[in-house]
Amino acid sequence: MESAAAQAPTDRPAGTDAAGTDGPRARNRARIERRLREVGRRHLAEYGAAALSLRAVARDMDIAPSALYRYVAGRDDLLTVLIVDAYTDLADAIDAAVSTRRTARTRFLALTDALRQWALAHPSEYALIYGSPVPGYRAPAESTNPAGERPLLALAAIVAGTESVPEVPGTHARAQSAAADALTALADDAALPPGTAPAVLARTLVVWNLLLGAVSSELFEQLGPITEQPATVYAATADLAAALLFG
């Protein structure tokens, strides 16, 4: 059975029937899909992704488990829906944050703040997309990649047009050049801004991993309670990341 996302119509507005009208069946389907996502996110927060159960979700929705199979094929399908929703919500937050900024550096700093604020507001969703893999689940690339690429592509768009990155004292040119060479094929990916230099892509990935590491460390308390001013520490990380990109 196809996933909820796969079953959603793509050639007419959501909530309409085959004739393009806002019929009762279409409204009921949209209502159940919204409720499925709401309860799914709540269970994700309360029990974790590994313990997500379609039967438990159905029970909280007051419908028979068999009825949910009209919308999702099983637990893995529901996880996929939640993953796509999480990536989309994060990317939308980043896009909104950077849209009012004019320079590359200020757009970048807006992105770093949006990433952290979204993670703090949605810790279970952040853990789902950037935390440990869910045992027994393999995300279908054709469903999750388009949404999953959006946050990183937002960063790539900010550095688009940059021909080189600042030299960092203490780094070895051979190691940096080798990393760029290893990403030559990826730099030609059609999803990236045209003309992305491999060295810029390599530095962008370093910065992205730096940001995710900082957010994950704070969110999951990986280092314990090291400070009462985590926002200040993160701001310094973002400033360092900006220097790695722009000097």
The tens-digit pLDDT sequence of the chain (247 residues) is 333 333 333 444 444 444 445 788 888 889 999 999 999 999 999 999 999 999 999 999 999 999 999 999 999 999 999 999 999 999 999 999 999 999 999 999 999 999 999 999 999 999 999 999 999 999 999 999 999 999 999 999 999 988 889 999 999 999 999 999 999 999 888 889 988 999 999 999 999 999 999 999 999 999 888 999 999 999 999 999 999 999 9
Indicate the angle between helix axes 75-98 and 104-121, nearest 10 degrees.
140
| CB burial readout 198-230, b (16+ within 10 A) else e | bbbbbbbbbbbebbbebbbbbbeeeeeeeeeeb
Counting beta carbons within 10 angstroms of the beta carbon of residue 79, is it exposed (0 to 12), middle (13 to 18) or buried (19 or more)? Answer: buried
- CA nearest to 176, candidates 210, 197, 203: 203
In terms of C-beta distances under 8 Å and separation of at least 24 residues, what long-range contacts does 109-115 make, across chains too? 109/238, 109/239, 109/242, 111/154, 111/155, 111/158, 112/211, 112/234, 112/237, 112/238, 112/241, 112/242, 113/238, 115/90, 115/151, 115/211, 115/215
32's tokens? 């159940």
* Contact predicate 44/52, CB 8 Å: yes
Neighbouring C-beta atoms of residue 107, cutoff 10 Å:
20
